[in-house]
Amino acid sequence: MSASALHSFLSLALGFALAGMLVSGYQALADRPAGFNLLEERRMARALAAVPFLVFAAPFIIMRNIVRDDGHGPRRVQFVMLSTVIVGFWSMMSGTAVIAVLEAAGLIT
């Protein structure tokens, strides 16, 4: 495995792990699952504070919503595949951002 492929895989894993940790932490503190409805808060400050959270937590929320059975019958395979690709790319980009911040802080090389 090349160094760039390993870096991409680790970015993907780190991004999805971070999303899972954020959503699980939110659910533990708020006693409700995180979702995109956080943007619909009455107070503008809360809705704006939810944006950075959702930027990093969105891959987990999207996959949770795809996997969850909503009672409308089976999902189309193409829809699930496209969602998985989008979530994977999003996770890789957020993982890359986290790695860049850690490198800038001097915590990793």
Q: Which amino acid is at 38?
A: L
Crossing angle for the helix pair 44-67 and 77-104, nearest 10 degrees?
130
- Measure CA 64 to chain center: 10
What's the whole-model pTM score?
A: 0.85
What is the distance between the alpha carbons of residues 22 and 16, in angstroms, rounded to a whole number? 10
Has residue 109 been placed in a domain?
Answer: no
pLDDT of residue 109: 76
Has residue 53 been placed in a domain?
Answer: yes
Number of compact structural domains in the chain? 1
pLDDT tens for 21-53 read 999 999 999 999 999 888 887 888 888 888 999
Has residue 9 been placed in a domain?
Answer: yes
Contact yes or no for 56/26 (Cβ under 8 A):
no
Q: State the DSSP code for 72.
A: S
Has residue 96 been placed in a domain?
Answer: yes
pLDDT of residue 38: 86
What is the distance between the alpha carbons of residues 59 and 9, in angstroms, rounded to a whole number? 15
pLDDT tens for 45-101 read 888 888 999 999 999 999 998 888 777 777 788 988 999 999 999 999 999 999 999
Q: Which amino acid is at 65?
A: N
Residue 100 corresponds to which tokens in the numbers above?
């860049």
pLDDT of residue 102: 92
Phi, psi of 66 (to 5 degrees): -70, -45
Has residue 47 been placed in a domain?
Answer: yes
Contact yes or no for 91/15 (Cβ under 8 A):
yes
Q: Domain range holding 16?
A: 3-104
